[in-house]
Structure 1
Amino acid sequence: MRKLRRAGLATTALLLAACSSAPGPAAPQPVTVAIAGDVHFAGSSAAALEPGGLDAVAPLLREADLTVVNVETAITDGGEPAGKQYTFRAPAAGLGALRDAGVDVAAMANNHSLDYGRTGLEDTLQAGRDEGLPVIGLGQDVDAAFAPHRTTVRGTTIAVFDATQVIDGSLATAWTATADRPGLASVQTASGRQRLAAAVQAERERSDSVVVVLHWGRELQDCPTQDQEDLAAELVAAGADAVVGSHAHLQLGQGYLRSGDRTGFVDYGLGNFVFYAKKAVTVETGVLELTLPAAGGVPRARWRPATIESGVPVPLEGSAADEAVRHKESLRACTDLAAAP
């Protein structure tokens, strides 16, 4: 009897030891977020709609845990063009092509996503649902337009916001989302900037990493404007780990910005990505890859350079890639950014 009791006690001890040494919940792991610049499907960039049209760059897009691009076109076959010089639209297959190439989120707050009016907006939102590619930066009202895309990867929660500082003057009021009007998340006005900063600050309390994607800057100017620098500082101080944008049709500098008691990573210009660009500076492109730990911040940022050939991006290799990275780094000279945190 005593042997049985001792055996039972020994078994219990072994079970307790096994339980005490069993691994607990896995700690959140760093994730990678890739962001690329302006995408439309007009002219030569319609090649991206063909099967395999984005195969060259797809490996870079798929490597990241979360990939975001700026889609600078209405996704519609209907609607009436806005009264402006350039209007872009593309079929829903465009979002499907991006999804298949590894894109996870379409950032659509920009000066072309409403080129085909309310019909284009409705069709764009529906296409996002149909193609399984989340769309951010526009919506049925201001709350929807400013809502972030939120996801959790290996225990780390990431939130991505999208907004535009660029809308044609004559269209700014009609295109800006309000409480009772669909449209874009606009930060052209002080109230819009305050709304975005407040949303970022609130999100800081619920997400491990906060990224803001912006449409901003001045076309073909490779130094940031004062408005860009001011907005970047406001968003970093509010809690953004990274503030990344495009619009200028060429690359701008990137680096680290100290604002308030926080440091964030800023890239003032990613350049074109899927675009009918032909001029030297406008075909320089790439994919920005950020490492985001659960503790916040951006300890590592990597520029993966590419060039646009016949409308679609093709990654660079060897000495050409090295030179492109050096060029990107040189653009920091006219910014308020540092090379390291």
Structure 2
Amino acid sequence: MGGDADSGASGPAKGGGPSFTVAAAGDILIHPPLIEQARKDAKAEGQQGLDFYRLMAGVQPVISRADLAICHFEPVVGKPNGPFRSFPDFLVPPQITTAVKKIGYDTCSTASNHTLDHGRAGVKRTLDALDEAGLKHTGSARSKAEADKPLIMDVKGVKVAQLSYAFGFNGREVPTATPWVVNQNDFARIKEAEKGARAAGAEVVILSIHWGREHHPEPSSGQIKLARRIARETGINLVIGHHAHVVQPMEKVNGTWIAYGMGNQVARHEVPSGLTEEGIIGWFEFRKRGGSWDVQARYVPTLVSIPPTETDAAKTVPADAVQDHRLIDVAAALRDDKKLTPEERARYRLAFERTQGTMLNRGAAQDGLKPLESLPG
């Protein structure tokens, strides 16, 4: 897996019980400028087609280090040569899945408001592409049998289940003939799915959930209410939220970490807001103490750099302006990249500090939440 999850190299941790790490990030949403970037990067390597690896490679050191790395794959996959579509009915290159695997992801949640953009055929094409890339997945399904089987992974000898649910599907109803095609948010269904995973042998259950209000850094009252029920009335060990496309805080409720919104892992909205380019990778250290799991939460601020647009070209653009879309581990870039311009350095520090403020604004500092790597001086 992202680390050595399937190697069986578990063994007791310092605390005496089994332990493992989880990295989880926000929305992967491929807009047209990112497709053009992948085409440019492939050409630079002397290749035809699309290569998304260089776009995402900046987070590979973190993602690949985790024992289990979880992505949220939001859009529907199209055919390798297109046609491709953007908002509101996404159809993205399947080549993105190989880059997601290459940087170290093991599994992806696939329940989102875009899951049904292209019906059952789109669901099948997306899951087929994830399979071909070697990525596990949950949240949508090609058959009832697939939907009914919990996704349980062996992570350093621990059976870890992943669930995936979404609030709705942009006005599309889940077909009554195939209610299993995608999971829709409902507390009773989520609770039942956790029970099913436990019955199938899961020792740890992680919920990926698509919820909240787009572009709002604060969780909605609906998110908070559902999070509290999940934390108090189920045994789910960790909740990973996405959909807002901006970072939302984490908090610990009744001993369970809730990450309300991870922001975007990689996206390029038509009108970038600054916040939509910022995201986090959540880093969670699970350690069994006695009969229960203790989870320590950390986060890694990320940023998608954006080159000047055609509109900007009419203005005076600095010669050292950003040339490419790149996903950046902010702290690592500030630590290691000595060639940053003053403007880049200032932008990265802003991303880190703004993300930190958001992460901690529901009192998570008192429960030990901090960045995986501090902001360099």
Letter in 2 for 1:66: L
Percent identical across equivalent pairs?
Answer: 25
Q: What's the counterpart of residue 22 of structure 1?
A: none
Structure 1 residues 248, 180: closer, same or farther in 2, change over 3 A?
A: closer
Q: Distance in 2 between matches of 1:148 and 1:298?
A: 23
- Choose 105-114 or 324-333, whichever is displaced more: 324-333
Q: Is it true that 1:224 corresponds to 2:219 in the alignment?
A: yes
Q: CA deviation at 1:26?
A: 4.0
Assess if the C-alpha contact under 8 Å between 1:257 and 1:338 holds in 2.
Answer: no
* Structure-2 separation of matches of 1:148 and 1:256: 26
- Larger displacement relative to structure 2 (138-147 or 288-297): 138-147
Of 296-305 and 98-107, more deviation after overlay is shown by 296-305
Given that 2:23 and 2:66 are in contact with CA atoms closer than 8 Å, whether structure 1 keeps it comes out as yes
Matched, 1:309 2:305: yes
Amino acid at match of 2:28: V
Match of 2:236 among 231, 234, 240: 240
Which structure has the greater CA radius of gyration? 1
Q: CA deviation at 1:329?
A: 2.8
* Correspondence for 2:341: none
Cα distance change, pair 292–179 in 1 and its aligned pair in 2 (3 A): farther
What letter corresponds to residue 326 of structure 1 in structure 2?
A: Q
One-letter amino acid of the counterpart of residue 263, structure 2:
G
CA distance in 2, matches of 1:251, 1:51: 24
Deviation, 1:200, is: 1.2
The equivalent residue for 2:264 is: 272
**Separation in structure 2 between the aligned mates of residue 302 and residue 212 of structure 1, nearest angstrom:** 17
| Alignment correspondent of 2:27 | 38
User: Offset at 1:280?
Assistant: 1.3
Name the counterpart of 1:14.
Answer: none
2:78/2:84 contact within 8 Å kept? no
State the distance in 1 between where 2:173 and 2:326 align: 30
Q: Which amino acid aligns with 1:332?
A: R
* 3-state DSSP of counterpart to 1:55: helix
Corresponding residue SS for 1:167 = coil
3-state DSSP of counterpart to 2:328: strand
Q: State the alpha-carbon separation in 1 of the partners of residues 84 and 355 from structure 2.
A: 39
Match of 1:115 among 117, 122, 132: 117
The CA distance in 2 between the partners of 1:51 and 1:70, in whole Å, is: 17
In the TM superposition, 1:38-117 aligns within 5 A as 38-46=27-35, 47=37, 49-77=51-79, 86-117=88-119
Q: CA contact under 8 A between 1:73 and 1:114: conserved in structure 2?
A: no
1:181-217 per-residue CA deviation (whole Å, 9 max, x = no partner) reads: 5521111xxxx43121122134346322211000000
Residue-by-residue CA offset, 1:277-300 (whole Å, 9 max, x unaligned) = 421111111210111124544431
Pair 1:289–1:51, CA change in 2 (3 A): closer
Q: Retained in 1: the 8 A contact 2:52–2:95? A: no
Structure 2 equivalent of residue 19 of structure 1? none
2:257 alignment partner, SS class = strand
For the 8 Å contact 2:54–2:326, the answer to whether it is kept is no
Structure 1 residues 94 and 143, CA gap change in structure 2 (3 angstroms)? same
- Comparing 114-123 with 178-187, greater Cα deviation is found at 178-187
Aligned 8 A contact 1:39 1:71 in 2:
yes
- Tell me which residue corresponds to 2:338: none
Pair 142,292 (structure 1): closer, same or farther in 2 beyond 3 Å:
farther
Q: 1:51 to 1:226 in 2, by over 3 A?
A: closer
Cα distance between partner residues in 1 of 2:30 and 2:83: 18
Q: CA separation in 1, counterparts of 2:129 and 2:87?
A: 25
1:249 aligns with one of 238, 245, 249: 245
Q: 1:232 to 1:80 in 2, by over 3 A?
A: farther
TM-score with structure 1 setting the length? 0.79
Matches of residues 147-226 of structure 1 in structure 2 within 5 Å?
147-169=149-171, 171-174=172-175, 180-187=178-185, 192-204=186-198, 206-226=201-221
Q: Does the C-alpha gap of structure 1 residues 93 and 253 become closer, same or farther in structure 2, counting only changes over 3 Å?
A: same
Q: TM-score, normalised by structure 2?
A: 0.72
Tell me the C-alpha RMSD between the 2 structures: 2.8
Instruction: Decide whether aligned partners of structure 1 residues 213 and 339 sit closer, same or farther in structure 2, where only a CA change above 3 A counts.
Output: farther
In structure 2, do the counterparts of structure 1 residues 141 and 185 end up closer, same or farther at CA, with 3 Å as the change threshold? Answer: farther
Cα distance, 1:80 vs structure 2: 10
How does 1:290-329 map onto structure 2 within 5 Å?
Answer: 290-295=284-289, 296-310=292-306, 311-317=325-331, 318=334, 320=349, 323-329=353-359
| Structure 2 contact 248–359 (Cα < 8 Å) conserved | no
Q: Deviations over 1:223-273 (max 9, x none)?
A: 222221222123222111111111111111101001xxxx21001111111
Which whole-Å CA distance do the structure 1 matches of 2:219 and 2:161 have between them? 25
Q: Following the alignment from structure 2 to structure 1, what is the Cα–Cα distance between the partners of residues 330 and 106?
A: 23
Contact 1:264–1:297 (8 Å) recurs in 2 = no
Match of 2:280 in 1: 286
For residues 3-22 of structure 1, the aligned pairs below 5 Å read none
Query: Following the alignment from structure 1 to structure 2, what is the Cα–Cα distance between the partners of residues 328 and 298?
Result: 24
Check whether the contact 2:89–2:117 (CA below 8 A) recurs between aligned residues.
yes
What is the Cα deviation at residue 114 of structure 1? Answer: 2.4
Distance 1:145 1:309, change over 3 A: farther
